[in-house]
Chains A and B, each alone.
Chain A
Amino acid sequence: MIKVTDLHKSFGKVEVLKGIDAEIKEKEVVCVIGPSGSGKSTFLRCINLLEEITAGDIVIDGESLTDPKIDINKLRSQVGMVFQHFNLFPHMTVLKNVTLGPLKVKDLSNEEAEKLSLDLLGKVGLSDKAHVYPGSLSGGQKQRVAIARALAMSPKVMLFDEPTSALDPELVGDVLEAMKDLAKEGMTMVVVTHEMGFAREMGDRVLFMDEGVVMEEGPPENIFDNPQHPRTQEFLSKIL
């Protein structure tokens, strides 16, 4: 589904990603963990071309992101992204937030877009919030709207960048629940997270990133219970 080969990313002279190789298979849930500043967000943002790739390549479903002929907008519509700070559109109702993409990018009719969006809002448990503005929602509700908004484009893969980090602890559960449902339906997911419980339960694989490379990867039980690399051991001992 996604194949990352020797990915490098620099901001000016600072190299943030120093050669990442990774493969994400269809229906796989891959969790990315690692210390702050290790490049986890940058890695996700490269997959969505929110950052320009400095060197190396990413191939999604057979299409290379470094191919100059690639239609960036089309590609982005197939890669859903959920941000730490939700980034809902505050001037639109919840429903409009979700229908915008289907209307403008997928060219659905008003009725089709609304039906699709109401279905998705129902799925994340927010049918009753369709006509309110995001400002009146809790963080957990906002994040579930953001998930519905991304899903409305029927993406082939969903990227999550610390989707629960900005939430009050009691609101984390609902969002994780929505993500679990998604994983069970077979969505391909890449999740940057500090929720080790989620990674252990739902992750098919865990990537441990540090200093711009993937230091260690494997099934969650191996990474959490029997980490090989000293940096992984150090990191886990700090957070667990």
Chain B
Amino acid sequence: MIENLTEIFTSPHYRNTLPFIVRGLQLTLIVTFTGVFFGFILGSIFGLARLSKSKIIYGIATVYIELVRGTPILVQALFLYFAVSDFFGINFDALTAGIIAIAINAGAYIAEIVRGGVESIDKGQMEAGRSIGLSSTQTMRYIIWPQAFKRMIPPLGNQFIISLKDTSIFAVISLGEVTYLMRQYVSTSGDPFIPYIMLCFAYLIITVPAMIILRRIERRLDV
């Protein structure tokens, strides 16, 4: 115990893990940004589909959203990386699989954010747009979407943070993001305590400022 305490001050692992953190975080951020970007596109499409009058379009969107939200992202990643590639004989690398998994996963949650955002806009806005002769697509584009998007920013920011943390499970598909690299470091050094503390900090260094910025934006949007 005493030895362990002195280790806190003298451990070489602080410094030695740094290159892994820098390298791993880069990949973590690439997967998160790219994944959430495509997730936003998917989410916008399926979120609007959930508002469709067509039962078929609504049904397809609902199935997608519930399938994704009803299964763990770990299982989705395993399914994509091992099952799909085996079954269809497509060879994704881990990076592609990770990005696709985040996109599909975040897409389902973002779809609900989009639906909620659009539904929160007063019906009178659509009617006013239509009454001056805009088509429903034009009304969506110029009137509903800009207002809805503003309301979607806080939950989208939350989803970004969730997805960022979700990328840690890609350690199981050997995607070399920060959690994977740190696990490797621990297995070779045999010393888990400080490296895993460093891993926590690696995430916090991104998530805490993200949450602070988000709260600021939220406050500004309120006014």
Q: Give the B-binding residues of A (Cβ under 8 A).
A: 48, 50, 73-74, 76-81, 83, 85, 87-91, 100-101, 104-105, 146, 149-150, 152-153
Interface with A: B20-28, B60-68, B142-150, which one? B142-150
In-complex Cβ contact of A87 among B128, B135, B147 (8 A): B128
- One digit per residue, 1 when the CB lies within 8 angstroms of any chain A CB and 0 when it does not, for chain B 139-183 equals 000110011001000000000000000000000000000000000
Chain B residues with Cβ below 8 Å from A79 are: 131
- For residue A75, which residue of chain B has the nearest CB? B133
Q: B134, A87: Cβ atoms under 8 Å?
A: no
CA distance A153 to B134 in the complex (A): 11
Q: Give the A-binding residues of B (Cβ under 8 A).
A: 122, 124-125, 127-135, 138, 142-143, 146-147, 150
Pairs across A and B, CB under 8 Å, 27 listed:
A48-B131, A50-B131, A73-B133, A73-B134, A74-B133, A76-B132, A76-B133, A77-B132, A80-B131, A83-B127, A87-B124, A87-B128, A89-B129, A90-B147, A91-B146, A91-B147, A91-B150, A100-B132, A100-B134, A101-B132, A101-B134, A104-B138, A105-B132, A149-B128, A149-B132, A150-B131, A152-B132
Instruction: A50-B131, A87-B122, A105-B134 are known; give 4 further A-B pairs, CB within 8 A.
Output: A83-B124, A85-B124, A100-B134, A149-B128
A136 to chain B, nearest CB (A): 13
CA distance A88 to B133 in the complex (A): 15
B153 to chain A, nearest CB (A): 13
- For residue B135, which residue of chain A has the nearest CB? A73
Chain A residues with Cβ below 8 Å from B142 are: 100, 104
In-complex Cβ contact of A50 among B122, B127, B133, B150 (8 A): B127
CA distance A78 to B134 in the complex (A): 12
Contacts A100-B142, A104-B138 hold; do A88 and B128 have CB atoms under 8 A apart? yes
- For residue B125, which residue of chain A has the nearest CB? A87
Chain B residues with Cβ below 8 Å from A89 are: 125, 128-129, 143, 147
CA distance A77 to B135 in the complex (A): 10
Chain B residues with Cβ below 8 Å from A105 are: 132-134
CA distance A146 to B127 in the complex (A): 13
- For residue A78, which residue of chain B has the nearest CB? B133
Q: A101, B133: Cβ atoms under 8 Å?
A: yes
A190 to chain B, nearest CB (A): 14
In-complex Cβ contact of B133 among A77, A85, A91, A146 (8 A): A77
CA distance A85 to B127 in the complex (A): 12
B147 to chain A, nearest CB (A): 5
Chain B residues with Cβ below 8 Å from A152 are: 132
Chain A residues with Cβ below 8 Å from B150 are: 91
CA distance A79 to B122 in the complex (A): 22
Q: B127, A87: Cβ atoms under 8 Å?
A: yes
Q: B131, A81: Cβ atoms under 8 Å?
A: yes
CA distance A83 to B146 in the complex (A): 22
CA distance A78 to B133 in the complex (A): 8
B221 to chain A, nearest CB (A): 12
CA distance A180 to B44 in the complex (A): 45
Contacts A91-B147, A100-B142, A104-B142 hold; do A153 and B127 have CB atoms under 8 A apart? no
- Select the residue from A48, A88, A101, A153 with max chain B CB neighbours within 10 A: A101
Chain B residues with Cβ below 8 Å from A90 are: 147
Q: B131, A76: Cβ atoms under 8 Å?
A: yes
Chain A residues with Cβ below 8 Å from B133 are: 73-74, 76-78, 101, 105, 153
CA distance A127 to B134 in the complex (A): 25
CA distance A77 to B130 in the complex (A): 8
CA distance A166 to B135 in the complex (A): 28
CA distance A84 to B31 in the complex (A): 49
CA distance A90 to B146 in the complex (A): 10
A-B pairs, 5 with minimum CB distance: A77-B133, A87-B128, A101-B132, A87-B124, A81-B131
Q: B132, A153: Cβ atoms under 8 Å?
A: yes
Chain B residues with Cβ below 8 Å from A74 are: 133
Q: A76, B130: Cβ atoms under 8 Å?
A: yes
Q: B130, A50: Cβ atoms under 8 Å?
A: yes
- For residue A89, which residue of chain B has the nearest CB? B143
- For residue A90, which residue of chain B has the nearest CB? B147
Chain A residues with Cβ below 8 Å from B131 are: 48, 50, 76, 79-81, 150
CA distance A149 to B129 in the complex (A): 10
- Select the residue from B128, B129, B135 with max chain A CB neighbours within 10 A: B128
